Amino acid sequence: MTSPASKLNSDLSQDSSSLFGRIFRLNKLGRRILSLVIFFGVWQFLCAIKFQFLINFGFLPTPVEVVQATWDFFTSDPWVHLRSSIIRVLLGYAIAAVLGIILGIVIGTWQKADDLLSPPLELLRPIPAVAWIPLAILMFPTAEAGMIFITFVGGFFPVLISTIKGVESTLNDTVLIRVGQCLGAKSWHIFQDIVIPGALPSIASGLVIGMGNAWFCLVTAEILAGRYGVGYITWESYVTSNYPPIVMGMLLIGLMGALSSWVVSRLTAALMPWRTIKKQGA
């Protein structure tokens, strides 16, 4: 470990008197909290001085106003909104995960399936969630189903693409496949014991990204909502020019998205005890 980065790191941490030295000596949690404090501090400061150069902070709600809006939200029956949003995202995501993994394995394994399925999927993939809104209204009997569909669209493609790539690269790992063959493995064993575990790290990252994307599409989805949902509040507040709840809604979606992505990444890591990930300076 003599890379320039780690060297710099250790030089700084030895110098405990400087501010940078102290920051580097903080533990992992400390550093993460510090990054949030700086983020909100800079935001409040820019609002306070009505910063205006390329970006205008003058009309932006300050963190304090957002905290006030958040307080109001949580003291007046927040659960009905949270529950509606969580159910929509989780249902859309669950369908996306199952379908993405199954289709990904099929497309990654068989050339004919690839030829038959990939062109329409590739055509649909770049379409943003918001463009689906009119069709979602036309295609589904209820707004609820339409909203689940839009979160599904967000989650599906990352899972699909990562699964295809994972399966393809494992199948192209000559040594791994030969190991199975010279132990007498039939297709099923190669699939179950080599291809699936070999593709798992890639599938797992698709699942984590897909989870974030499903939340990403929530505001879009809940444009269709009549009354409830965190995304609905965000959209509705914009329509009624009530700005602090918009930022609250954004942060709430960010928070729930980050939290659920973290849960997915923990769950998938538990499926792969053979993997240990170590970063520089960890």
Partner 1 sequence: MQDIAVQAQASTQITYGLVEVRDLTVRFGDRQKTTILDKINFTVEPGSFVCLLGPSGCGKSTVLNSIAGFVNPTDGAILVDKQAVTKPGADRGFVFQQYSLLPWKTTFQNVEFGLRIKGIPKAKRRELVGEYLNRVGLYNRRDSYPHQLSGGMKQRASIVRALINSPSVLLMDEPFSALDAQTRHMMQELLMEIWHEFKTTVIFVTHDIEEAVFLGDRILVMGVNPGHIKEDIVIDLQRPRHIDDTLTPEFIQISRRVLATIREETLRSMESS
First to last CA, the chain: 12
121 counts as binding partner 1 under rule CB under 8 A: no
Site size toward partner 1, by CB under 8 A: 20
Find the shortest distance in angstroms from Cβ 186 to partner 1.
7
Q: Whose Cβ is closer to partner 1: residue 53's or residue 274's?
A: 274
DSSP line for 195-215: IHHHHHHHHHHHHHHHHHHHH
Give the x-and-dash track for 235-274 against partner 1 (CB under 8 A): -------------------------------------xxx
**CB 211 within 8 Å of CB 224:** no
Q: How many beta carbons lie within 10 A of that of residue 11, not counting itself? A: 12
179 counts as binding partner 1 under rule CB under 8 A: yes
Spatial distance between the Cα atoms of 130 and 217, rounded to a whole number of angstroms: 8
Closest by Cα among 240, 219, 242, 230 to 68: 242
Closest by Cα among 168, 154, 155, 156 to 202: 168
191 counts as binding partner 1 under rule CB under 8 A: no
Find the shortest distance in angstroms from Cβ 175 to partner 1.
5
Find the shortest distance in angstroms from Cβ 177 to partner 1.
9
125 counts as binding partner 1 under rule CB under 8 A: no
184 counts as binding partner 1 under rule CB under 8 A: yes
> In sequence order, what are the residues at sequence separation of 6 or more whose Cβ sits closer than 8 angstroms to the Cβ of residue 173?
198
Spatial distance between the Cα atoms of 89 and 222, rounded to a whole number of angstroms: 11
Closest by Cα among 248, 258, 257, 238 to 71: 248
E strands within the chain? 52-53, 55-56
**CB 62 within 8 Å of CB 46:** no
Find the shortest distance in angstroms from Cβ 104 to partner 1.
19
Q: Whose Cβ is closer to partner 1: residue 8's or residue 272's?
A: 272
Q: Whose Cβ is closer to partner 1: residue 78's or residue 197's?
A: 197
Give the x-and-dash track for 56-95 against partner 1 (CB under 8 A): ----------------------------------------
Contacts 24+ apart (CB under 8 A), 26-29: none
**CB 66 within 8 Å of CB 248:** yes
Give the x-and-dash track for 138-177 against partner 1 (CB under 8 A): -------------------------------------xx-
Find the shortest distance in angstroms from Cβ 281 to partner 1.
21
Q: Whose Cβ is closer to partner 1: residue 126's or residue 184's?
A: 184
Read off the DSSP letter of residue 195. I
Selected from 25, 125, 165, 189, the binder of partner 1 by CB under 8 A is 189
197 counts as binding partner 1 under rule CB under 8 A: yes
Find the shortest distance in angstroms from Cβ 184 to partner 1.
3
Pairing of strands 52-53, 55-56: antiparallel
The site for partner 1 (CB under 8 A) is made up of 175-176, 178-179, 181-186, 189, 193-194, 197-198, 200, 272-274, 276
